[in-house]
Amino acid sequence: MLGAIALLGAIGFGSLGVWQVERLGWKNALIAAVAERTSAVPVDPSADGTWERFDPEVDEYRRVAISGQFDNSSETLVQAVTAYGGGFWVMTPLLLGDGRAVLVNRGFVLPEQRDPGSRGSASPEGVVTITGLLRQTEPDGGFLRSNDPAGGRWFSRDVAAIGAHDGLADVAPFFIDADRLAPDAVPIGGLTVISFSNNHLIYAITWFALAAMLLAGFGYVVWDRKRG
């Protein structure tokens, strides 16, 4: 019975170790793929099929470039914390020539810069070309805090909810984190944090070590009984 328990336990721990090795391979491939996407030549997500088939596993963090006209009257402020402190992301619809729209995270502003007139420069007018990174929507809200469109309180960049609140008929299923336009530009763009936790090797070693310890412990018990 003791041998059966030790064997089943070792198989279980070993299986978890194998699973973590597989996760390690997946995570390394993901990190490499994202690094390649962020450094690639920008593509137009409104013209290459991304709009219709957007898949975060394949498309998130791709470099993109898209042209349109900002609807500055529909600016949405989403609470955020960055290296500059607490403040807001400035989410503005970019209206395309064919009637579609994509939400652009123009960047970060401090609480005292909520009013566009306090930012030191006018909001972009006319047709502009925005470059940045493709991001997936953040539905519902933040941790323990739901978005409140009626009250104007936003805790996550929920594309569908913001689009509905702004009355956008055909909004993209993603948003764009815009690059910073200039060193002193406000909002402050280009603050996308790309970081992936990658502890799978440590976890794998831990599970394999537990399996080995269990078998070694059973072996010691058998040896001790034979010696006795």
Please state the rounded mean pLDDT for residues 178-207: 86
Q: Please give the structure tokens belonging to residue 196.
A: 């992936």
pLDDT digits (tens, 9 = 90+) for 105-139: 999 999 999 998 888 777 888 899 999 999 999 99
Contacts of 8 (CB under 8 A, 6+ apart): none
Please state the rounded mean pLDDT for residues 184-192: 89
- Of 53, 110, 100, which Cα lies nearest the Cα of 79? 110
On average, the pLDDT of the chain sits at 89
CA distance 127 to 96: 9
- Please give the pLDDT value at position 82: 93
The answer to whether the CB of 159 falls within 8 A of the CB of 137 is: yes
Q: Report angle CA 177, 180, 185 to the nearest 5 degrees.
A: 130
pLDDT digits (tens, 9 = 90+) for 21-34: 988 888 888 778 88
Q: Where do the domains of the chain lie? A: 2-32+207-227, 62-178
pTM listed for this prediction:
0.78
* Res. 7: pLDDT tops 80: yes
Highest mean pLDDT among 53-57, 86-90, 216-220: 86-90
Q: Please give the structure tokens belonging to residue 14.
A: 């070993």
Contacts of 209 (CB under 8 A, 6+ apart): none
Please state the rounded mean pLDDT for residues 80-97: 94
